[in-house]
Amino acid sequence: MKRENLTVVVLSVLSLLAFAANSILNRAGVADGAIGPASFAAVRVVSAFVVLAAVFWIKERRLPARPAHWLGPVGLLIYILGFSFGYLGLNAGFGALLLFGAVQIAMFVAAWMRGHAPTFVEIGGAGIAFAGLVYLLAPNLGGGALVPSFFMAAAGVGWAMFSVSGQEARSALGATTSTFAVILIPVVAVFLFNTHEPMTLFGVLLAVISGGITSALGYLVWYSVLPLLATTTAGVMQLTVPVIAIVAGIFLLGEPSDARVWISSVVVICGVLISMFARKMAK
């Protein structure tokens, strides 16, 4: 494997690990009542912006330029709010399935609209990965409420918009910093309209970690690798995030595991690999 390809793989894996950590942190804070969804979103965005702005200033000694396109900020705003409010009424499995299913579909549509229609092999690989995800989450798919489901599906579309915008970014650091700067005011405004929410020290700590580390640095890495990935590939790769989160829970939190976890993990990974290498196989 060429060094450039290895770098892309390593950076992609780091990004996916950060996304899985965000899911765990958000669920731990919001679902358990340690912090409200609007509060979590506000603390997360402010923390992410502070970290990114500091890194940008140290490197560039200037303020970042405004985003080149509206797609990134609007998409990130929809994702941040939809993700936080969605987990108020959804269990982990159903929420993850909605989120990453919506991401995959939206990014396939985006690729088609940009004249890069996915091949049959790519679609087949995506289908295999999605089937593995459904098999993994099947025992926990009950209890989906209509409004939270809408929020989570919207979050998936928003994340796809943010990712597509990142493929055209000239500077990953500049684009990520300016995008967070733009959404600061609307996210804080939503928080000010929800001051009745719970907000414990533990919940704030989870949101700070989610914003300052797994969002700021995770999104920065993601934006740096996006220009090197096909839109469909970027979409399919993210189907591994629920698997990563569940496997991490087994090893880090001592959560129970069974054959379903390992079977579905292999199926998802195989489907992602098929989709990732589809274009090379066709040449």
Average pLDDT (261-270) is 85
pLDDT computed for residue 101 by the predictor: 80
Residue 48: per-residue pLDDT: 97
Q: What's the Rg (C-alpha) of the chain?
A: 18
Is residue 280 predicted with pLDDT exceeding 60?
no
Give the distance from CA 120 to its chain's centroid. 25
Copy the structure tokens of residue 129: 């990965």
Query: Is 265 within 8 Å of 132 (Cβ atoms)?
Result: yes
Spell out the domain ranges in the chain: 3-282
> CA-CA distance, 192 to 195, in Å (whole number)?
6
- Mean pLDDT (the chain, rounded): 85
SS3 of 249-261 = HHHHHCCCCCHHH
Average pLDDT over residues 234-251: 79
Q: Cα–Cα distance between 55 and 212 in angstroms, integer? A: 11
The CA distance from 188 to 42, in Å, is 5
- 206, 34 Cβ separation under 8 angstroms: yes
Structure tokens at 194: 């929800």
Place of tokens 């989570």: 152
C-alpha distance from residue 164 to each of 9, 76, 231, 253, 265 (Å):
19, 11, 7, 34, 26
Q: What is the pLDDT of residues 160-213, one digit of tens each?
A: 999 888 877 788 899 999 999 999 999 999 999 998 999 999 999 999 999 999
* Whole-Å CA distances, 267 to 22, 130, 271: 23, 9, 6
Please tell me whether residue 167 adopts helix, strand or coil conformation.
Answer: coil
Q: pLDDT (tens digit, 9 = 90+) per residue, 97-147?
A: 778 788 888 888 888 887 777 788 888 888 888 888 788 777 766 555 678
Tell me the pTM: 0.84
Q: What distance, in Å, lies between the first and last C-alpha atoms of the chain? A: 18
Question: What residues pair up with 35 in beta bridges, in sequence order?
Answer: 199
What value does the mean pLDDT take over residues 141-157?
80
- What is the Cα–Cα distance from 141 to 6, expressed in whole angstroms? 36
Tokens for 267, please give them.
Answer: 């199926």
Q: What confidence tens digit (pLDDT) does each residue in 5-51 have?
A: 678 888 888 998 998 888 888 888 887 889 999 999 999 999 999 99
Cα gap 231→246, rounded to integer Å: 25
Whether residue 100 contacts residue 238, with contact meaning beta carbons closer than 8 Å, is answered with yes
